Amino acid sequence: MLKIGGVKLGKVPRVVLAVVGESSAVAQAAGEGIDILEARVDLFDGQLTSASVVDEVKVLKRHEMPLIGTIRGQGEVRGTARVSDAQREALYQHLSPLVDAIDIDLSATMLKSVIATARRNKNTMILSHHDFRSTPPASTLEHIVRKATTLGADIIKIATLARNESDVVRLLQFTAAHRQNNLVTISMGNIGSLSRLVLPFAGSLLTYTSVNPSDGQIGATRLIEDLRFYYPRYNEALINRTRLLEFV
């Protein structure tokens, strides 16, 4: 079964909290039921040196949760990226041994080098695609899946902007039809907020939130409450424990 760290994927939605460094909010969210942390290294405070990144990630590891390492570059974030491609490649080399999974965009120039590094360190490999302008047609989504599969992705992440409800429905249908491909799908933007709940039902392995929600994300507390309500199996351990207490 596919895992990130010790967390099994596939049977229930898993919640990823994107973090930009250690804070009290991270500790609070981690205690509310977050499954996995994503270190958004490109958004860390201060100068992004190898030493500073390693130190910050080691602090995050104290939460004893699976950790995804991500360093976004130009064209993979809104606005201007903070790191050059050369810097990113060097940072990924230092990051990979510390994390359970590596996420890198399919458009990255250093893609094959980072994949090789991740394989040496036995990271789960997440190959991602971001479209901040639209949700492309199914034929384009098919091409993304084929490319990522050929490169050896363990997980294929596709995040697209939803301009209307039809975009969300199209991504939902695509996810359901390709659930065997280990997809993570996200409709970004306010219209896409519902996707954070319904795309896992169609087969998306992970749903994302952050300390400062954006792009249609649902705050961690609300997201987990909703998942517990709409996905009984998500809260299976708690349900079982509650039933046992009935007989105490």
Tell me how crowded residue 152 is: count the other CB atoms within 10 A of its CB.
Answer: 13
Q: Could you give the CA distance from residue 18 to residue 16 in angstroms, rounded to a whole number?
A: 6
Q: Which of 61, 122, 143, 157 is catalytic?
A: 157
Burial class (CB in 10 A: 0-12, 13-18, 19+), 7: middle
Question: What is the C-alpha to C-alpha distance for residues 105 and 184, in angstroms, rounded to an integer?
Answer: 13
Active site residue 8: no
Residue 147: active-site member: no
Please identify which of the residues 3, 58, 61, 130 carries the catalytic annotation: 130
Give the chain's radius of gyration (CA, Å).
18
Q: For 218, which DSSP code? A: P
Alpha-carbon distance 203 to 73, whole Å?
Answer: 28
Count of Cβ atoms closer than 10 Å to residue 86 Cβ: 10
Q: What is the DSSP string of 135-166?
A: ---HHHHHHHHHHHHHTT-SEEEEEEE-SSHH
Using alpha carbons, list the distances in angstroms from residue 109 to 52, 102, 105: 24, 16, 9
| Active site (catalytic) residues | 130, 157
